[in-house]
Amino acid sequence: MADNWRVLDFTDFHGELRFSKSKKVLETYDSESGEVTRHALGDVNIVFIGIYTSLAPAMMYHFAKHDVVVLFCDWRGLPICSMYPWIDAHGRVAARQRAQASLSAPRSKNAWMRIIKAKIRGQANNLKVVDTEQAKKLEDISRKVKTGDSTNAEGLAARIYWSTLFGDLTFRRTPGEQTDWRNSLLNYGYTLLRGSSMRAVLSAGLTPALGMYHRNRSNLFALADDLIEPFRPAIDHSIQQLSPDSSLDDKGMRKHLMEAVQQPFGKKGLSVAAVMTDLAQQYGRYVEGEVERLEVPVWTIS
């Protein structure tokens, strides 16, 4: 994460936020430990606030004055509303969002191509432990993805992938379908993953409704649905290892899927959620022209 794009996360914080007039800093008082910490608001871009955090209305003035975006989160840590400052129309978040809105079609399509390449390569890595020949087919498809995925390589790869992953040629991935245990668990796992993607997009100061590929006018988090794609194979892998009697009625199963979102993504040991946050930050730099191409991480089984 870029040093000049600082995020403070108080979603699990129990205590109070207050502004020190004498020191001109944000002070946090932890009601559990009694610890007080200080943060210079001039270095902060985004603040996540959870349901156990209290603050006086005056604190919102100081956030706005220092051009800090505040995101209020529910019990799951997912943003449900936000406060954007009006004081500085040329602030850091506003500048990034204007750049995102004006991103050229070729650069947007190039980014989507790289997203799909990475997704298919991750799917191929999952198949290597099931069927090496089919895995090779996916690797070949990934090398042929064109800009904007104009030839629908994603769809071609999906047909091979889903009929192979669970060793069942009759299986079809059907979003929303609950009668098949695999579809049911995939739906739940992807929902958890989407929550992490939403947080990643917002923490990067991006407009979530402006996607690269997903453009449904009623989808407020189209970009989150774009950036989630390379991470889906991590959830698939966690479900592929389960037995056919697995069910969401088992509380342990929900815990297993929650842990899947926090499992290591690749050889560096960073969690799925952490790597997703890094990708969103990189996309922010990409839309601003700070990097020439989007380097998308690929899921590998650790």
End-to-end CA distance of the chain: 23
Higher pLDDT, 88 or 241: 241
Instruction: Provide the whole-model pTM.
Output: 0.81
pLDDT digits (tens, 9 = 90+) for 119-130: 999 999 999 999
The DSSP code sequence of the chain is --TTSEEEEETT--EEEEEETTTTEEEEEETTT--EEEE-GGGEEEEEE-TTEEE-HHHHHHHHHTT-EEEEE-TTS-EEEEE--SS-TTSHHHHHHHHHHT--HHHHHHHHHHHHHHHHHHHHHHHTTT-HHHHHHHHHHHHTPPGGGTT-HHHHHHHHHHHHHTS-TT----TT--SSHHHHHHHHHHHHHHHHHHHHHHHTT--TT--SS---TT-TTHHHHHHTGGGHHHHHHHHHTS-TT--TTSHHHHHHHHHHHHSB-STT--BHHHHHHHHHHHHHHHHTTSSSS---------
pLDDT digits (tens, 9 = 90+) for 3-43: 456 778 898 899 999 998 888 899 999 998 999 999 998 88
pLDDT digits (tens, 9 = 90+) for 202-221: 889 899 999 998 776 667 88
Mean pLDDT on 264-286: 91
Residue 138 near residue 127, CB atoms below 8 Å: yes
Task: Give pLDDT, residue 91.
Answer: 64
Please determine, for residue 1, whether its predicted confidence score (pLDDT) is greater than 50. Answer: no
Report the distance separating Cα 95 and Cα 88, nearest Å. 10
For residue 34 the two structure tokens come to: 């009694």
Please determine, for residue 224, whether its predicted confidence score (pLDDT) is greater than 80. Answer: yes
Please determine, for residue 179, whether its predicted confidence score (pLDDT) is greater than 90. Answer: no
Task: Give pLDDT, residue 81.
Answer: 85
Residue labelled with tokens 């799909």: 116
pLDDT digits (tens, 9 = 90+) for 36-79: 999 998 888 788 899 999 999 999 999 988 888 888 988 877 78
pLDDT digits (tens, 9 = 90+) for 92-125: 788 899 999 999 999 999 999 999 999 999 999 9
Report the distance separating Cα 118 and Cα 124, nearest Å. 10
Task: Give pLDDT, residue 75.
Answer: 86
Mean model confidence pLDDT for the chain? 90
Map out the domains of the chain as residue ranges.
6-88, 100-287
Please determine, for residue 161, whether its predicted confidence score (pLDDT) is greater than 50. Answer: yes
CATH number of 100-287: 1.20.120.920
Task: Give pLDDT, residue 64.
Answer: 87
For residue 168 the two structure tokens come to: 């069942």
Task: Give pLDDT, residue 242.
Answer: 93
* Domain 6-88, CATH among 3.40.50.20, 3.100.10.20, 2.40.50.140, 3.30.420.80: 3.100.10.20
Mean pLDDT on 264-288: 92
The DSSP code sequence of 58-77 is HHHHHHHHTT-EEEEE-TTS
